[in-house]
Structure 1
Amino acid sequence: MNKKLLRVGTTYIPVSNVEHSSEWYVNKLGAELSYKDEDKAILNFANQSFFLVKSKENQSSNFYDICGVERFSITFEVNGLNALEAIHRDFIDKQIRIGAIENRGHSGRNFVFFDLDGNKFDVWSELSPIFKEKYLISQ
């Protein structure tokens, strides 16, 4: 038996209003709603499940690094710079709070975006080679 961790199956995201947040993720990010009650919603997108969990106010998945910079805990990947630029424009059109496309000194480009509760997420223009190979994605 292979005892290695194989994938991340579920990510939990704190939200203040499950109803509003689940609608936002469905309408803005194209998530598929698979379950919802007063305390949580289960969404599927980006090849995994996300649980939106009703939390106390002013909670987020963000954290601060040693220099006091607010960081994201999740980076989504897209297939290339053109795809990154296209989703950036789409997020602008959907009035999602986003940052500028950045060169962070490594391959590819990135930008950040925020959900209704200020959860900060990253988008990177480089798909992992293993994902590309598994899903037969070519440039």
Structure 2
Amino acid sequence: MREKLLRVGTIYIPVTNVEFSSQWYINKLGAELSYKDEDKAILNMANQSIFLVRSKESQSANFIDFHGEKRFSLTFEVNGLDALEELHKDFVDNEIRVGDIENRGHSGRNFVFYDLDGNKFDVWSELSPIFKEKYLISK
């Protein structure tokens, strides 16, 4: 196999109301809208294209792990602990449902947050070294 997967281009997130959810992602997370109709919204956020897709209420991007715990399927990265703490505070101030900042026994710290439909996401304080190098981020 000579070709390799280079990046994740698009993430699909189920939502019950495209209008409300797209406004939430724009206003709360700083996403930029590039397209919207009654069935989907295409947002640009965190160097990704994110599709909010109208789904039934029982749908979620979450899954249940072997131990019965609800898990996220997506982790966002920020550049360091200070950035993580600042983002956590901003999310709390913006009334986003968030968990506590956690030490999970590996480098960095994390916290989880939820969108309007209960989709659970993770934020990690360790920015990928390849991303840092590519975008000339120092620290």
1:91 corresponds to: 91
Partners of 2:106 and 2:113 lie apart in 1 by: 19
Query: Which residues of structure 2 form unaligned runs of 5+?
Result: none
State the Cα deviation string for residues 16-72 of structure 1 (Å, max 9, x = none). 000000000000000000000000000001001000000011211000000000000
Counting aligned pairs with the same residue, the percent is 79
1:7 corresponds to: 7
1:136 corresponds to: 136
Partners of 2:84 and 2:58 lie apart in 1 by: 29
Partners of 2:79 and 2:68 lie apart in 1 by: 31
1:50 corresponds to: 50
SS in 2 for 1:33: strand
State the Cα deviation string for residues 78-106 of structure 1 (Å, max 9, x = none). 00000000000000010000000000000
Q: How does 1:1-139 map to 2 (within 5 A)?
A: 3-139=3-139
SS in 1 for 2:121: strand
Partners of 2:56 and 2:95 lie apart in 1 by: 25
Partners of 2:86 and 2:36 lie apart in 1 by: 30
RMSD of aligned alpha carbons: 1.0
Query: Which residues of structure 1 form unaligned runs of 5+?
Result: none
Q: TM-score, normalised by structure 1?
A: 0.98
Partners of 1:137 and 1:109 lie apart in 2 by: 19
Number of positions where the alignment pairs a residue of Structure 1 with one of Structure 2 = 139
Partners of 2:58 and 2:102 lie apart in 1 by: 27
1:77–1:123 contact (8 Å) kept in structure 2: yes
Partners of 1:23 and 1:6 lie apart in 2 by: 30
